[in-house]
Amino acid sequence: MGQDTISAEPEQAEHSEGIRVGADLLNATRAFANESVMRSWWHVGSTLILMISALVGAGVVPWSPLRDPARHWDSALAILAHGGLITSLWLFGGFDVALFSVLLPMAIASALGSYLFFAQHSFKRMHIITPEAWTFYRAALESSSYMRLNRIMQWFTGNIGYHHIHHLNVRIPFYRLPEAMVAIPELQSPVTTSLMPKDIKECFQASLWDQAKHCMVTYREANRPV
């Protein structure tokens, strides 16, 4: 079985003529590792601008405590008591209020965030390379996924979907990952996944690596008699 696996490795795409591999492929990504101070500050600053705008907006409201902080010392107390928000909602508004206003949205957001990281490294079409054939470059491109997301989700997730490029060269700023993929042909045929129900189901079902079949399988498939 080991010999069969090793002999199959030269058929991988990275060994095709004209395809850059190893250090050559890594060197091709180095141009995109150069950060733009202006673009970096724009992406970080946009979040700060939204936060500052909210605070300024609160400050111009006549009844806002931000208009006179010394007078409204109780605002500081409210911030410190924020940890008790869920308990207060539960006690005074009932479990339904606490659930639908805080608990459920937080749970959904946390689950989605956790899944995004999980699906980048454990998915049906993931390829686990044998120790004899393992290289840093193949591990990045074949064992990390490219998650297809729309532009809105790309913005919210900081281009986390371009995970195969991130693993190949972690010095590339998140906002230049799409640019690198467009410019380098060798990065344009990644192992893909998405947030479609079919892909999510396959992601959770594909739990084991079958060395004989050279692919991820479900527990049911693994227990199936040969």
Q: Which of 8-12, 44-48, 72-76, 215-219 has the highest mean pLDDT?
A: 215-219
Distance CA 203, CA 223 (A): 18
Contact 178, 162 (CB under 8 A): yes
Contact status, residue 21 vs residue 15, Cβ threshold 8 Å: yes
In the DSSP assignment, the letter for residue 210 is: E
Which tens digit of pLDDT belongs to each residue from 113-158? 888 888 888 888 888 888 888 888 888 888 888 999 999 988 888 8
At residue 38, the pLDDT reads: 78
pTM of the model: 0.58
Q: What is the pLDDT of residue 139?
A: 83
CB 159 within 8 A of CB 39: no
Beta carbons within 10 angstroms of residue 26's beta carbon: 15
Q: In the chain, what percentage of residues exceed pLDDT 90? A: 5
Confidence of residue 82 (pLDDT cuts 50, 70, 90): low
